[in-house]
Amino acid sequence: MIKISVVVPVYNAERYLIKCINSIMNQSFNEEYELILVNDGSEDHSEDIIDKKIEEFGLNKIIKVNQKNGGQGKARNAGVRVARGEYITFVDSDDYIDKEMLKDLYEKAIQEKSDLVICDYIEEIGESKVYKKSLYKELEDINKEYILTVAGPCSKLIKRSLIEENDLYFPENMIYEDLAVMPTFGAFASKIAYIKKPYYYYYIRSNSSMRQLEYSEKLKNIFKAMELLEKKFVDSDLKEKYKEELEFLYIEHLLYAGIGRFINFKEANEDIKRIHDIMSEKFPNWKKNKYYLQCSKVYKITCNIFWNNNKLLIGLYKKVRKNGKR
């Protein structure tokens, strides 16, 4: 029986793909596992690399799925639908994993009877490597902490039935598709385990497609992702139970992140108004959110500068951020 399916969406990743595949295929994990490479309409030599790796390791170990370019959400879903493993883990094609990752996360899942296991990760930017904690709020309720802090699909081992039985597939044809669905895993998981050790290496490319998108396109997708996320909580009768957590996610991704990631004030007045309207309608008392009240003064000042649409202070804030000062 296949224990783990590793799903890797691949799009124009020829520079990184060999390292990624080798890190997955050279695991210390002694149980049976499979690698599913979803070629998302690559236009470089990625498919040639995939074919060579299939020759090297065999069709019983590596499965290739070809599809027209549809984005990471569609590619991950395609991988999940052909997966045979009891558990699934996602790896991006420009990243790589520690040789002990599958073994240690699977052992943790079995020992604690968990349907979701999280580990820490290393963020690589050029030559620098920074240790990142996946969970850092240290709440007593690990499910709520997961909802608050985890948006990305990688550095996790997920029971396949958790995805299939709760329809936790990724939205397609959009960016920030992970934000729209990953926090809900914390609401549906019966048991979450956490290993405080980095097994995943997340490589940040300066020329990635996400970084090249205009702020307006990013913000449009953030709006859509948050709407889909809220809808999932509502449709599953979970909104009331996780109201404060959902409210804080809106604070985090519309107010706090809005000022630093998306806003160019020559263009953004309408978007700023929309964010203000969304928060006023959905969460008029957001300043009383218990998680927001626990945040640093800098965090609160950032949110309030944006909330009050103080263009002079926002311009100064962005200048300080650009110069690398905090």
> Looking at residue 212, what is its pLDDT?
45
Cα 129 from Cα 106, distance rounded (Å) = 26
Q: Which residue has the higher pLDDT, 116 or 318?
A: 116
> Looking at residue 307, what is its pLDDT?
83
DSSP-derived secondary structure for 36-64: EEEEES--SSHHHHHHHHHHHH-TTTEEE
Q: Encoding tokens for residue 219?
A: 């913000």
- Write out pLDDT tens, residues 122-162: 999 888 999 999 998 889 999 999 999 987 999 999 999 99
3-state secondary structure of 310: coil
- Write out pLDDT tens, residues 181-235: 999 999 999 999 999 999 999 998 765 555 445 666 778 899 999 999 999 999 9
Give the rounded percent of residues in the chain with a pLDDT score beyond 70.
87
pTM, two decimal places: 0.91
Q: Which residue has the higher pLDDT, 258 or 256?
A: 256
322 falls in which pLDDT band (50, 70, 90)? low
> Looking at residue 271, what is its pLDDT?
76
* Averaged pLDDT for residues 285-302: 94
325 falls in which pLDDT band (50, 70, 90)? very low
> Looking at residue 315, what is its pLDDT?
57
> Looking at residue 265, what is its pLDDT?
52
Query: Is 91 in contact with 20 (CB distance < 8 Å)?
Result: yes
Give the rounded percent of residues in the chain with a pLDDT score beyond 90.
76
* Averaged pLDDT for residues 10-15: 97
DSSP-derived secondary structure for 163-229: HHHHT-PPPSSSSSHHHHHHHHHHHH-S-EEEEEEEEEEEEPPTT-HHHHS-HHHHHHHHHHHHHHH
Q: Does domain 4-209 sit in CATH 3.90.550.10? A: yes
Identify which of 49-58, 269-278, 295-304 has the greatest average pLDDT.
Answer: 49-58
Domain positions in the chain are 4-209, 213-322
* Averaged pLDDT for residues 31-38: 98
* Averaged pLDDT for residues 44-63: 97
260 falls in which pLDDT band (50, 70, 90)? low
Start-to-end C-alpha separation, the chain = 50
> Looking at residue 112, what is its pLDDT?
97
268-307 as b/e: b if 16+ CB within 10 A: beebbeebbebbeeebeebeebebbeebeeeeeebbebbb
Does 313 score more than 70 pLDDT? no
What integer best gives the mean pLDDT of the chain? 90
> Looking at residue 267, what is its pLDDT?
57
- Write out pLDDT tens, residues 64-82: 999 999 999 999 999 999 9
Q: Which residues pair with 195 in a beta bridge?
A: 119
Phi, psi of 307 (to 5 degrees): -60, -40
> Looking at residue 326, what is its pLDDT?
42
Stated as kind and residue range, the H or E segment containing 7 is strand 4-10
